[in-house]
Structure 1
Amino acid sequence: MARSRKVDTDSALHAAGLAFMECGYSGMSTRDLEDRSGITRFTLQTKYGGKKALFLMTLDRYLDALLPWIDASIVGGGLAGIADFFRRRADDDRMPEQGRFGCLLVNALTEFGATDPDVNTRASRYFAALRAAFTSALSQARAVGHLDASVDIELEAERLLSNILGLNVFIRTSGRNSAGAAIADGIAVSVERLIVAPH
């Protein structure tokens, strides 16, 4: 007798996103996806448009939740906010447990490379949001006299972007948020060194 399970869309996308984060797109079979998300193979095709379409939906859902968190964590916090953002990323007590699997978007990029336009579109959205958040915090720091005029804000934002990408990859390969604590602290210290002492 065939199974008949009804799972609401939000719960299904959440479970599928966690499964993809842990196992990757290629590592997640349709059967495993069904077991972990409750989405039957029939529903996967008829409601979600197949595995790839579901994966892209989970990426969109992930970004919709992540990008406001990035803004709230970085924008307005100046250099101290940026430093704390990195330390928090590698803190088991302040990050969700599933963070040990890295970042769903970064994982997708490492799996698909530059070959998939759908993933690349979402990556562009992610990169633009991070650049904007870092640029905003750096600009605010300069406006209040905390960032030396010799610091190239665009170049520094790009460095920070590459740092968070690398940190996420390191955490994924290690399997623990706190495995990246020393790296995160090193990045945070480099940011704190940019703070201009008041005269």
Structure 2
Amino acid sequence: MARPRTFDEPQVTRQAREVFHDQGYAATSVEHLTAATGLSRSSLYGAFGDKHGLFLRAFAQYCDDHAAAIEHELAGDPSGARARLEAHLRGKVSDPDAPRRGCLLAKATAELAGEDADVARTATDFYAAYERALTACVRDAQTAGDVRADLDPAGAGALLLSVLRGLETLGRARHPVASLHASVDSAMALLAAPGR
């Protein structure tokens, strides 16, 4: 009979995810993971199979956490939906002098998605959830009369997702902040209902 585990798997997954986030998948060794989690190699392998299995669990946890946070941030009363959308977009414009750790999702997809179907699937599921949250927020803003009624909410959600990913990528490249805010201005102007 297998012995019960004496550690908190979600917590261990979070500890491992920090290592993968900082170092990337290929540069992370099992020794890095055992040092960060305090578990032996055999315990890690027994719980997660191997480094790849632990990474997939950590990556899925990261995506699930972020999807839940985005959904929470964008949900609410329809009267505040347009303001929530704009705040969300502006939140992706980062301070050019701030330390840049980068996004685990962007790092993982750049490093692995082309050759790892599991990583690609998790990333695709995350982006689908993100787009649904944006679409719902656009629909709420339309209900409040703050976004053009003739816009297809799903199409607007897809456009906003593209803008958001562009803002993050350009921000990491230290693109001028004024230009990024101008992009947000333009996206919000495209959504605006007449007279708003």
Distance (whole Å) between structure 1 residues aligned to residue 11 and residue 126 of structure 2: 23
Does the CA-based 8 Å contact 1:79-1:137 persist in structure 2?
yes
1:4-153 → structure 2 map (5 Å cutoff): 8-76=8-76, 77-91=80-94, 100-153=100-153
Identical counterparts, % of pairs: 28
Which residue identity does 1:186 align to in structure 2? A
**Matches of 1:51 and 1:120, distance apart in 2:** 17
Matches of 2:82 and 2:180, distance apart in 1: 14
**Residue of structure 1 equivalent to 2:168:** 168
Asked whether the 8 Å contact 1:91–1:181 carries over to 2, the reply is yes
For residue 191 of structure 1, what is the aligned residue in structure 2?
187
Give the alignment's TM-score, normalised by structure 2: 0.79
In 2, the alpha carbon distance for the partners of 1:7 and 1:16 equals 13
User: Unaligned stretches of 5+ in structure 2?
Assistant: 1-5
Alpha carbons of 1:102 and 1:182: their partners in 2 closer, same or farther (altered >3 Å)?
A: farther
Shift of 1:59: 1.5
CA deviation vs aligned residue, 1:40-87 (integer Å, no higher than 9, x gap): 322221221110110111112212321121011123342221111122
**TM-score between the two structures when normalised by the length of structure 1:** 0.78
Are the aligned partners of 1:75 and 1:134 in contact in 2 as well (CA < 8 Å)?
A: no
Higher relative contact order (CA 8 A, sep 6+): 1
Q: Over the residues paired in the alignment, what is the CA RMSD in angstroms?
A: 2.7
